[in-house]
Structure 1
């Protein structure tokens, strides 16, 4: 997604400038995404592997989590509309990195890219944990921490090897996994409605939190399922007529993904007894087993879920390498992240999978009971940083009068939308919880040190 960036800073070396121009020429021939393809891109990236475990992750909060789904969908669409406005103003590939850097300079652009990069490889760790939950249906490994870790690491390194083999293999894996991904989701979303039993829903709210607190906490977990809402804006340079199509594709893709999510969650809530769902590591499998009896259906869903999650890991592994690619071309990340082999930033792939592996091992060995939830909440915080910077950039553009001139009525609507998206992102930060914010801030502050190092190198190069 982050294949190219904005125009290089003045300090960029001529060689990098020539490379950027070459990529720009290639980009002209690659701009073939119309509205349907761009919408599919958004929907496909939003619907990853998290949905296969999320119904069980939010079940402890009760059915009030369905309310959180509704609130989250409204907020996600507000973000989608803001990204559409920003893409119309700056129709370049790069998404939040481009907008933050254009509005606030290199440091803000770096923070947006750094946070998004963290989100990508932490998401890979979370997806691997989700895959292990369904792999346990096929191979009983959850009784052993060692074999659980081995399985999680295998789920991360197999997609990494596919990425290192080149983009041709990445595309083949993605095609197969996408087909297998939607089959079990449609089966659960539609079939579950015919087996729905209201007695399975359990209490509306559990625990001692207030209703607002319960909605915030469950929404923070559910945000993981909406990562990818920015996909069309990040690929705006490859979308035909981006000023028009990026915004529409973002809203349509987000809305359709929300519909699938809501139907799947309602079906699982209504087919699996609440006390069983809370402890489930494979809620889709449990739901299908209830529908058809026995275990054959659940086993088939588990196989499809594992393949689907591996496909999501395949795409997000590439994204974890592409996220620092554009800032590396601009001199804001180490130059090694900008080197490609067979169309893939190989150094970025290796660094991303190594960090995700270390985080997976740490979370399993630290005695955390909810490993998936812990990782998801970290991504909630790190994902909101580029969202906050992007919406702040939109507010800056509107207040400063930069870009397209609009009527006072349109200006008021855009400002209201941007403020709503900014407030929504702040609300998610609060819902992530202290532990997730703490770990996320640690990751963020490490990035400040990296920026200081890169900025010093650029300055030294420019003065010699």
Structure 2
């Protein structure tokens, strides 16, 4: 017997507030760009060089990962159709397995969001340095990273109307140069640049697994529309569509862009490249202006990702706070945005950024970022497990019996993909990620006790 009863319903007050001039519910286009913008951050600009040492066999690994991500996206779409509330994986896990599972999904997703935001901001500094040389001043770099974090936060404070607008504009602007390479690069493609199919000394299976370990986290963000389902117009229809369209759009850019870079930059140069898309543009058009173009695209890409992730980082705690599983202050919402969640998230990310630049040790920050690759998979695994639970338990309101086998296979594949993500995190990340989860157990004990006492008093 679970202690949740029925899934939490959408708050009518939210819908009333969503009609204000500052708060507008996302349409299909805005929801799709939210998914695409969150999946594609700044990592794509280094991915081709990261997997080049394994040879073109890494494209095979990318293809397998794309199929796994699409399966996960389809599962999120089906879950959102039955549970169109803000919170995504938190809502699904809580409905299936109770408060504790829901809390773990919310807690781990929240950790992933604010640590990843700090990482994205720090990554943006390298690209900003190309556009506006910062010198060797750590203070200037730290200030730039903080500005990069607080600008998207300002868009969030302004309301969901502006979050959606910024997301659409950022996605269009960053996709223009990426599509230029992905499509234009095919016209200057040369098979002589591809290098060996298998460049590493390991066997084919080992090479695919090793390259996959680098690429595994390229699709984090497929759940973006589901997490913000409460802010999407007609969520039963649009969340699933946005999730699939956004994932397919990101997959198109990922696969075609990586292939084009492979065919435009000689393999021996690509292995050591620090800006593979810049090198590809230079090869396509000549000159050395590619670095500036790619740097601008990378900054726009990261700002767009931060804009979306800042909203998502507040949505899951908001849903949990409404159920008494997070501090009640996180349930505060203005202009369609959980403003307290945004503030707390940005402050935590800013403190981590300051620590990165003042502690004198890069290792600690990299370890924390690696931990997020594990914490991000916890909500995925719980959500896919929830779908399997709904299917196997035969709950008629959630199961289309004529499609039971198909939906079951899809959920099983998505669960397997989630497990692969956990394995790809590495032993150290899993070990330290579990410590983060255990810290959450203490928080849950306190919140659960308060909830029980309040219920008893009433």
TM over 0.5: yes
CA–CA separation in structure 2 for the residues paired with 1:38 and 1:157: 22
1:7 corresponding residue in structure 2:
8
Provide the C-alpha distance between the structure 2 equivalents of 1:104 and 1:86, rounded to a whole number of angstroms: 15
Q: Distance in 2 between matches of 1:278 and 1:129?
A: 23
Q: How far apart are the structure 1 equivalents of 2:394 and 2:171?
A: 42
Given candidates 10, 23, 26, the residue that maps to 2:14 is 23
* Secondary structure at the counterpart of residue 402 of structure 1: coil
Deviations 1:367-413 (A, max 9, x none): 44995xx6664333122111110111111111211143757662222
Provide the C-alpha distance between the structure 2 equivalents of 1:183 and 1:405, rounded to a whole number of angstroms.
40
* Cα pair distance change 1:205/1:448, threshold 3 Å: farther
Q: TM-score, normalised by structure 2?
A: 0.85
CA contact (8 A) 1:125 1:375 kept: no
Residues 1:452 and 2:453 aligned together: no
Once residues 248 and 326 of structure 2 are traced to their aligned partners in structure 1, the CA distance between those partners, rounded to angstroms, is: 34
User: TM-score if structure 1 supplies the norm length?
Assistant: 0.84
Counterparts of 1:197 and 1:405, CA distance in 2: 50
CA contact (8 A) 1:398 1:411 kept: yes
Q: Judge which range, 296-305 or 421-430, deviates more.
A: 296-305
Uncovered stretches (5+) of structure 1, i.e. residues with no partner? 9-18
Contact 1:123–1:375 (CA under 8 A) maintained in structure 2: no
| Distance 1:149-1:284 versus aligned 2 partners, 3 A rule | farther
**Relative to structure 2, which stretch is displaced further, 440-449 or 153-162?**
153-162
How far is the alpha carbon of 1:150 from its aligned partner? 4.2
d(CA) in 2 for partners of 1:308 and 1:86? 29
The corresponding residue for 1:224 is 217
Distance in 2 (alpha carbons) for counterparts of 1:444 and 1:82? 24
Q: How many residues align?
A: 448
Aligned match of 1:301 = 294
Determine whether 1:47 maps to 2:47. no
Greater shift in the superposed pair: 178-187 or 340-349: 340-349
Distance 1:21 1:354 in 2: 30
Q: Secondary structure at the match of 1:324?
A: helix
Tell me, yes or no, if structure 1 residue 250 matches structure 2 residue 251: no
1:441 aligns with 2:434: yes
Corresponding position of 1:134? 127
d(CA) in 2 for partners of 1:204, 1:352: 43
Which of 341, 361, 366 in structure 2 is aligned with 1:366? 361
CA distance in 2, matches of 1:334, 1:311: 29
Give distance in 2, aligned partners of 1:356 and 1:216: 32
Report the counterpart of residue 411 of structure 1 in structure 2: 404
Q: 1 CA distance for matches of 2:398 and 2:342?
A: 42
1:333 is paired with a residue of what secondary structure? coil
Backbone CA RMSD of aligned residues: 3.3
1:401 equivalent in alignment to 2:394: yes
Q: Deviations over 1:274-303 (max 9, x none)?
A: 444444443322322232222224313322
Deviations 1:407-453 (A, max 9, x none): 76622222222111111110111112123223322222221121112
Shift of 1:204: 3.6
Q: Distance in 1 between matches of 2:117 and 2:44?
A: 14
- What runs of 5+ residues in structure 2 fail to find an aligned partner? 1-5
For 1:81, the equivalent position in structure 2 comes to 74
Counterparts of 1:279 and 1:143, CA distance in 2: 23
Mapped partners of 2:110, 2:51: distance in 1:
26
In the other structure, the counterpart of 1:101 is 94
TM superposition shift of 1:256: 2.5
**CA separation in 1, counterparts of 2:273 and 2:386?**
41
Could you tell me whether the CA contact under 8 Å between 1:128 and 1:156 is conserved in 2? yes
Q: Deviation digits for residues 320-377 of structure 1, max 9, x if unmatched?
A: 2223111112111112222235544333223222332344455664344995xx6664
The corresponding residue for 1:151 is 144
Kept in 1, the 8 Å contact 2:30–2:164? The answer is: no
Contact kept? 1:216, 1:428, Cα under 8 Å: no
Tell me if structure 2 keeps the 8 A contact 1:220–1:429.
no
